[in-house]
Amino acid sequence: MSRLKQAVKMLRYNFSSIAFFEIVYRVLSLAILTPAMYGLLNVSMDIAGVSYLSSGTIYRYMRSPITYVAFLLILILIAFFLLINLSGIIYSMEASVRREKLNPMDILLHGIGNACRSLTPKNLLTLGYVLFVLPFTYSLTLSGTLLGLKLPEFLTHFLKNYKFGVMGGLAIYLVLCLTFFKEIFTLNYFVLYKVNYKQARRMSKQAMKRHVLLMMIGVISLNLAIAVIAVLLEGAFAAGISKVVLNLIPNKTVVTVIDTIFRVATVILYVLIVIVATPLIHAYICAHFYEREGDMDYEEFKKLHVNKIQEREEKILLSRSRKKQRTFLASIVAFGLILNGCYVYLSTNNYMSFRIAYPTNASVTAHRGDAGNAPENTMPAFEKAVEAGADIIELDVRQTADGVYVIMHDESLNRTANVKRKVGEVDYDYISKLDVGSSYDRSYDGTRIPTLEEVLIFAKENDVFLNIELKPADTDQNYVQGIVDLLHEYDFVNQCMLGSQSVAALREAKELDPDISTLYIMTMAFGDFAGMQGIDGFSIKHTYISNNMVSRIHAKGKKIYAWTVNNESDIKDLLLLDVDGIITDDPANTKEVISNANDSIIEDWMKRLIYKY
């Protein structure tokens, strides 16, 4: 507790300057860092000859050497900006210890100066330290530029669904913490003693002997306490104001007011984190540092310590007058705000929506029929999809060896029919006898693989729209031509859209009949793909969809569908983004979620706040 009191004392002495520095730093970071990162990615894609990223282009992009140059430069930029912030705070704590008042310009210039030192050959590893060691010693949750960083989707899914994965991940994290916490003072020595990275790291290890566990417990506990307090404060604020609003304001305007309240509450919390929490954590570490900085047993420290004491006794003043300092600082802030305005104009926030309610006009597509309640891509699944009220039925088409179009997702028959043969290797007579129902449930014994013609007839009778995914194989003969001919035969061109991961197949269909709607399916998406020729819409994995992406696609007069979405929270997030359709394994539940979305908008915002923080 004494160290926490010391941290608060140091923070209070120069608090106004530190708070203003943090705000200026964030303004500059947002104005410079984010556009620079997108710019580097776009330039690297241009050089690699890739206009957009998808499952079809990512391999070519990753084979280009310029890709890795861009990634490296982005990492260097992130580390450089983080180092400006951390160096500035460390310097301000040192000034508080020696009872010297600073202005924000002092802190900013010293932060930039020390960040520039990291670009020298002897100190380049400092950037790696900031990126890969600090998350285990400071705070990944509250560390400035890294605020909002998320784990990759596959890793998040693994941790949620496998308890051993959670325990294993936690164990690995704790081991890494124990390993790296001995280096927690590296930046303090680097900034205050002006030594190179290697010396600073060695000095930190010397000072942290026998103190690692105690230090780790203290820092982690402080992080957790701040996170809990932040959530409780914002939750109490939002809930209290919402209750008042619900009692005083007519229903027609409640949603608008509630949406505004939550956005304001989020901004308030972020500002509090910026000006209080992040510096407080660093101040707490600095309090430990001043207690341990002399705990080293080699002669080099003595000389360095004498130099540091002499530097403390010198009054550090900028050569500019105070008036010039204020003018220069105001210019920096104004420049940053202008850049911020440009960035906000060109980009939108993918987390908070400015809508006053959920748009509930998104269509619901039954993925492979009602695959959650019947064997996928079978007539029972399609019948259940109609019963569930699905607007569209999605299905996959493959061609047999004798040219018959059948409904099957996989190239192999093994997963659904337990036959180790490929669809294109056998004729329809063989496939028509296969059972694809018993592997799902014994009640579906004898369920067969339907043909495309059967499904077209069924869809006509039930007036249901189809999303027909083309899956051409090397063995197919006139694959696209044959499907287009069937659509004409059954007068189905205006009652379906053709989707595929093959742009060539979609463009061939478009050439055969310009009235056919085409849908490009993307497992990942980045870059300028909205204007692709011969493509009328996009079906994109929901985790890649952003507000900006939806706006760009809609601006081209095209549609965007999200796949495959079964979670209520994900469905509502996509509604806020105004996607045109949601592809799901559970159409009945998805229809219900969309229908009742606005009934729970307040609770939804509360859950978003808790989840985010």
Domains annotated for the chain, with CATH where assigned, are 2-147+207-346 (no CATH), 363-612 (3.20.20.190)
Residue 560: C-alpha distances to residues 455, 581, 611 (Å): 24, 7, 26
**Stronger pLDDT, 110 or 151, i.e. the higher one:** 110
- pLDDT, residue 419, reads 92
Digit-coded pLDDT (tens) for 70-96: 989 989 998 999 999 999 999 999 999
Digit-coded pLDDT (tens) for 318-341: 444 455 555 655 565 565 555 555
Report the share of the chain in percent with pLDDT over 90: 37
Residue 347 has pLDDT above 90, yes or no: no
d(CA 94, CA 203): 17
- pLDDT, residue 245, reads 56
Residue 306: how many CB atoms within 10 A of its CB? 10
- pLDDT, residue 178, reads 76
Are 40 and 74 spatial neighbours (Cβ–Cβ below 8 Å)?
yes
d(CA 470, CA 507): 12
d(CA 28, CA 32): 6
d(CA 189, CA 551): 48
Are 529 and 560 spatial neighbours (Cβ–Cβ below 8 Å)?
no
And the tokens for 466? 């189809």
**Stronger pLDDT, 38 or 355, i.e. the higher one:** 38
Annotation marks residue 554 as catalytic: no
| Three-state SS at 352 | coil
Of 21-35, 175-189, 589-603, minimum mean pLDDT range: 589-603
37 — pLDDT class (breaks 50, 70, 90): confident
Q: Which one is catalytic: 110, 282, 288, 367?
A: 367
- What single letter denotes the amino acid at residue 426? V
| Cα Dmax for the chain | 94
Are 108 and 24 spatial neighbours (Cβ–Cβ below 8 Å)?
yes
d(CA 335, CA 31): 9
Residue 154 has pLDDT above 80, yes or no: no
d(CA 475, CA 169): 45
Pure H helices in 153-211? 153-161, 163-180, 186-192, 197-207
Digit-coded pLDDT (tens) for 250-282: 554 555 555 566 666 666 666 676 677 778 888
Are 456 and 486 spatial neighbours (Cβ–Cβ below 8 Å)?
yes
Digit-coded pLDDT (tens) for 371-396: 989 999 999 999 999 999 999 999 99
Digit-coded pLDDT (tens) for 111-146: 988 999 999 999 999 999 988 888 777 654 444 434
Phi, psi of 363 (to 5 degrees): -75, 155
Annotation marks residue 409 as catalytic: yes
Mean pLDDT, the chain, rounded, equals: 80
- Pairing of the two strands 405-407 and 392-399: antiparallel
Digit-coded pLDDT (tens) for 42-53: 888 888 888 766
605 — pLDDT class (breaks 50, 70, 90): low
Digit-coded pLDDT (tens) for 471-512: 999 888 999 999 999 999 999 999 999 999 999 999 999 999
DSSP state of 563: E
Q: Which one is catalytic: 110, 409, 542, 554?
A: 409
Residue 557 has pLDDT above 50, yes or no: yes
| Long-range contact set of residues 541-544: C-beta below 8 Å, sequence gap at least 24 | 542/570, 542/574, 543/153
Length of the chain in terms of residues written: 613
